[in-house]
Amino acid sequence: MSKLTFAVLPGDYIGPEVMTETLRVLEHVAQKEGLELDYTIADVGGAGIDNHGKALPDTTLELCRRSDAILFGSVGGPKWENLPPKEQPERAALLPLRKAFNLFANIRPGLLYKDLVDASPLKAERIPEGIDIVCIRELTGGIYFGQPKATTTLDNGEQQAIDTMVYKTSEIERIAEVAAVTAKGRSRRVCSVDKANVLETSVLWRKTVTEYFAKNHPDIELTHMYVDNAAMQLARDPNQFDVLFTENMFGDILSDEMAVICGSLGMMSSASLGTGTNSHGKPFGLYEPAGGTAPDIAGKGVANPCAQILSAAMMLRYSFGLDTLADRIAAAVRTAVESGVRTGDIAFGRPAVSTKEMADAIIAHL
């Protein structure tokens, strides 16, 4: 019996609500497939602060180190927003986790079912079949981490601030590989986004990506696009892309734009892959919904669990190599939603179901 060892960190507000239902879905498929689920639930974020004095308790980090993957909920909310910025749940939990596991590749599917096109701010005629793309963002390099990074006072008394954008070939090649592997499971088209008409790092990015694909993935169609154009093209015709990948800051902005055009945050999953491999010989990863803790609807049992369930499916795919099972869960979510079972965020005038009823419908389609 194959054993899946993972840490479950539900977090705050709707985090535990959607996680409970996700674990029910996982238990269901595990039982049917003869998989052993070996998971441990631990505090993170506000729950970590309240129960252990910090957002990423040592015991939680230890648990993650013993695991093959992390299934993460979401953290933060009004209860902790007056803490100093460095102690805030999101910053003090997610950043150290990214650092501890060198989570360098953020993969976000931009998925909008045909039946949900009304959730998108784009005109329905631009996306008659919905949206189905993937955005991959480099997560540990670039201008957010490059040194020097400082604010100094000049001789004339003015202040001057500096950030440094820096990339080396190995960092570019490893994210290019994630894009290639993702594209091979789809339509084998990759668009690399940069600003090679202005930035030195982007010139190296484009050269490295071109050489890497020519040498290692000649069967994949590679195109390049400047980031300003990519931002426009995403809003004009998102489906012209299949897999797009880019450096940290460009990806931060483009992946949020993609989330908006795909409608409800309740449907948006994500994966962050690390450099290390787990005991299955697959990438260690952290899997979480793209949205936050939704304090406005927490405690009512109405949050949409789909994003968390789809994140769990990504965990099965990337960290456990269970592609078929991941596909089946993704298909069950789609079928449940297309059959008209909807939580409030995607109901559009239909009667809304509860978090639990949404999960029940997904389980019924598995």
Beta carbon nearer to ligand NAD, 10 or 283: 10
Which residue's CB is nearer to ligand NAD, number 256 or number 323?
256
Angle at 298 between CA 293 and CA 300, to 5 degrees: 155
Given the residues 118, 237, 256, 323, the one annotated as active site: 256
In the complex, what is the shortest distance from the CB of residue 102 to ligand NAD, in angstroms, rounded to a whole number?
Answer: 18
Here the tokens at position 155 are 């001789």
Looking at 115, 163, 242, 252, which residue is catalytic? 252
How many Cβ atoms are within 10 Å of 348's Cβ, its own excluded?
Answer: 12
List 144, 242, 282, 356, catalytic entry: 144
CB of 348 to ligand NAD, least distance (A): 13
For residue 241, what are the CA distances in angstroms to 134, 149, 183, 233, 244? 8, 34, 11, 9, 7
Under a CB-based contact definition with an 8 Å cutoff, are residues 109 and 339 in contact? no
Count of alpha carbons within 13 angstroms of residue 220, beta-carbon side: 32
3-state secondary structure of 111: strand
**Would you say 270 and 125 are in contact if contact means Cβ atoms under 8 Å apart?**
no
Query: Catalytic: which of 38, 58, 228, 296?
Result: 228
Q: Minimum distance from CB of 303 to ligand NAD (Å)?
A: 4
Q: How far is the CB of 344 from ligand NAD (least distance, A)?
A: 7
- Taking the complex as a whole, the smallest distance from the CB of residue 198 to ligand NAD amounts, in Å, to 30
Catalytic residue at 356? no
Residues 6+ apart with CB under 8 A from 94: 75
Instruction: Compute the least distance from the CB of residue 316 to ligand NAD, in Å.
Output: 20
- Rounded Cα gap, residues 63 and 49, in angstroms: 17
- Nearest CB to ligand NAD, comparing residues 35 and 312: 312
Residue 228 is a catalytic residue: yes
Structure letter (DSSP) for residue 299 = T
195 an active-site residue? yes
| Cβ 15 to ligand NAD shortest distance, Å | 8
Structure tokens at 354: 């509860």
> Annotated catalytic residue: which of 132, 167, 195, 212?
195
Residue closest to ligand NAD when measured from CB atoms: 292
Tokens at 185, concatenated: 């499971």
Q: Which is nearer to ligand NAD, 134 or 306 (CB)?
A: 306
**Closer CB to ligand NAD, 75 or 209, in the complex:** 75
Q: Report the interface residues with ligand NAD, using CB under 6 A.
A: 14, 18, 74-77, 90, 94, 265-266, 288, 291-297, 303-304, 307, 345
> Which amino acid belongs to residue 225?
M
Nearer to ligand NAD, 17 or 194 (CB): 17
Within the chain, residue ranges assigned H as helices are 14-33, 46-52, 58-65, 89-100, 169-184, 200-216, 227-236, 248-261, 306-318, 323-338, 355-364
The nearer residue to ligand NAD, 98 or 188, going by C-beta atoms, is: 98
Q: Where are the beta strands (DSSP E) in 83-178?
A: 103-112, 131-138, 146-153, 159-164
Catalytic residue annotation: 144, 195, 228, 252, 256
